[in-house]
Amino acid sequence: MAAKSEQRAILLALLAVALWSTVATGFKLGLRTLEPVQLLFAGALVSCVFFWVVAGWLGRLRLPTKAVGQAALFGLLNPFAYYVVLFAAYDRLPAQVAQPLNYTWSIAMALLAWPILGQRPTRPILLGILLSYGGVLIVLRPWGLDQSQAVDWVGVALALGSTLLWAGYWLAQARSTIDPIALLAWSFPVGLAATAVLCAAGPGWPPLSADTLLFGAWVGLVEMGVAFLLWRYALALTANAARIGQLIYLSPLLSLGLIALVLGEAIHPASVIGLGVIIAGLAVANR
């Protein structure tokens, strides 16, 4: 039985990794036809329906009255603030630059864990932080882009800022006692409402079209929904979370391949080397 559970855990984790490897490509394709906030509205709408169906099916829709305010704050952080910033970064940067920068969120979590959770970084974590941000510098070297392209520092700041938001979200969840499925079901409508206000005040509602439905499903199900649940269940089934965790390093490598094949970006060696250094830093920190 244990062997079967491990096999299922690895299979679920690999499926999650495969789905996550497509999101950078999906973001860029969606942003070709939609404004960042419109793409977020479509994705958040799909994910709201998904999480309500899952929570209802599992009988985990009930939320304590005292937790309503906390759920609202979580919803303003994710999906609203995090994806507004992340999609704005992807709108300004090549996917091969935005994706490695966003992947440093776990390093940002190690930095924020000190002031938020009181967890001082160990020497391996500090070394991993230095390595990962060294990889970021490699990605951002002028020769990491086409010679005709200047580095968009606003986009870089947005991408790195999104990692702080995402890390803060997960660290805040670590201190929450709310059922995580119920929290997602109740927090995402708040984020959707905030996104709707931003759409109404800015570019307007996303057009009702096949493209909007496709990219809304891509963001709402692949990025925000199905992959997240697959990963959670994989960790619940395994007796070796560290081994499962190593599989996540496959995602950015697969993603670079899709960026080249689907988006047609010429992958520069600096992007590959920088991503490799970032992953090495994450591996060192996780040890």
Band (pLDDT 50/70/90 cuts) for residue 281 is: confident
**Model confidence pLDDT, tens digit, residues 241-258:** 667 777 777 888 889 999
User: Residue 144: pLDDT above 60?
Assistant: no
Q: What is the pLDDT, as a whole number, of residue 143?
A: 46
User: Residue 3: pLDDT above 70?
Assistant: no
Contact 158, 90 (CB under 8 A): no
Which of 4-8, 14-18, 39-43, 251-255 shows the lowest per-residue confidence on average (mean pLDDT)?
A: 4-8
Q: What is the pLDDT, as a whole number, of residue 152?
A: 87
Domain ranges of the chain: 2-286
Contact 24, 267 (CB under 8 A): no
pTM for the whole thing? 0.89
**Model confidence pLDDT, tens digit, residues 88-139:** 999 999 999 999 898 888 788 888 887 877 778 888 888 888 888 888 888 8
Contact 281, 129 (CB under 8 A): yes
